[in-house]
Amino acid sequence: MATNGKNEKRSQTILPEEPQSVTDPITNVHWVPFLHIPMERRLQMMAVCFWIALLGICTTVFFAFCFTPPLWPFILAYIAFIYLDKAPENGGRRFQWMRHLSLWRYFADYFPVKLIKEQELDPSKTYVFGYHPHGIISMGAFANFATEATGFSNIFPGITPSLLTLASNFHLPFYRDIILSLGMASVSRHSCESILSSGPGRAIVIVLGGASESLNARPGMNDLVLKRRLGFVKLAIRQQSPLVPVFSFGENDLYEQVENRRGSRLRRMQKKIQHALGFTLPLFHARGIFNYDVGLIPFRHQIVTIVGKPISVPKLTDGDKEPTEEQLLAVQEKYIEGLKAIYDKYKDIYAKDRKCDLRIID
């Protein structure tokens, strides 16, 4: 790797074992010495590219089927199945062999992703995991909780996690069936309650912060949108499920984002898109398949996910169906304290290059 300018930092923290890159003297782009890349690293790159392109692949295949008349009866039946299928609201359609595919191990090893626990979890209880930060695409959340690439089942025996995502993702043909097979489910209230009510040992993983937080995702910074997030606290109290703070060091270091300060024209446009569609699109870039400077492939930066100590929730008294505002704020405060405790304990190990410390901005 070249060691000049902005690329020096990447060569030290992201690609420590990459062979020497070839620099274009005109564009200053650092090209991958493809013939000298070990096979293991090529497979890792293929796994990440597959996941990033999966939605496009599924969409292309679906429309190809739509333009094939003999397949129209099957397409119509499949569309009806999507409309009637209740799996997204009932914990997914999990297949363990899908979660154990070697593909996901290569995916996790690309960064690499590491999972660390602070405390054992009691399999006789249910849990609500809050994942931070959101990042651009939440790669760490997927690797740790939608697959067995980092050994979740071995680290937390008896706990079955369900990574939750937008309900709109389950309207996408074929793609929906893949994420359902990984145990992913809708983040709707009905889905959360259904999973947590299905028996002991169940856990839901909610990537908090959402689209608003993704607009703040930048290397070296961890600005969390959490002050107004009380829905997951209310859910945990209703279901009597302890809250588990989860923090991933490195999640925000995978992509560079175009400057979009609050009040800027770009930020206002992104917020309008969010209000209209329920999500927004950060303008981001990282590396390419054959270069280290331009593209949508995430940088090779370690992601270390710390699963913190569970935070107990107050019991509702007889006749009370909803927690009080005082209870919500008290539990939220304990949750934020737990999250900060994780960050302060590990920041000098896994966030040495930080630009600023953890901040709760909204």
**What's the confidence (pLDDT) of residue 242?**
97
Strands 223-224 and 202-207: unpaired
* Residue entry with tokens 């199945």: 81
**What's the confidence (pLDDT) of residue 146?**
97
Buried b (16+ CB within 10 A) or exposed e, 207-243: bbbbbbbbbbbbbebbbbbbeebeebbbbbbbbebbb
pLDDT (tens, 9 = 90+) of the chain, 362 residues, equals 333 444 433 333 444 455 666 665 666 777 888 788 899 999 999 999 999 999 999 999 999 999 999 999 999 999 999 999 999 999 889 999 999 999 999 999 999 999 999 999 999 999 999 999 999 999 999 999 999 999 999 999 999 999 999 999 999 999 999 999 999 999 999 999 999 999 999 999 999 988 788 888 899 999 999 988 999 999 999 999 999 999 999 999 999 988 877 778 887 887 787 777 777 778 888 999 988 888 999 999 999 999 999 999 999 877 677 899 999 999 999 999 999 999 999 999 999 999 999 999 87
**What's the confidence (pLDDT) of residue 25?**
64
In angstroms, the CA 340 to CA 263 distance is 28
In angstroms, the CA 1 to CA 16 distance is 8
**What's the confidence (pLDDT) of residue 5?**
40
Q: Domains of the chain, with CATH numbers? A: 38-255+298-360 (3.40.1130)
**What's the confidence (pLDDT) of residue 20?**
64
Question: Which residue from 361, 137, 133, 132 is spatially nearest to 262, judged by alpha carbons?
Answer: 361
**What's the confidence (pLDDT) of residue 21?**
63
Work out the angle at residue 253's Cα, subtended by the Cα atoms of residues 250 and 258, and round it to the nearest 5 degrees: 155
Q: Considering all CA atoms of the chain, what is the largest pairwise distance in Å, rounded to the nearest integer?
A: 73
**What's the confidence (pLDDT) of residue 4?**
41
Q: What is this structure's pTM?
A: 0.89
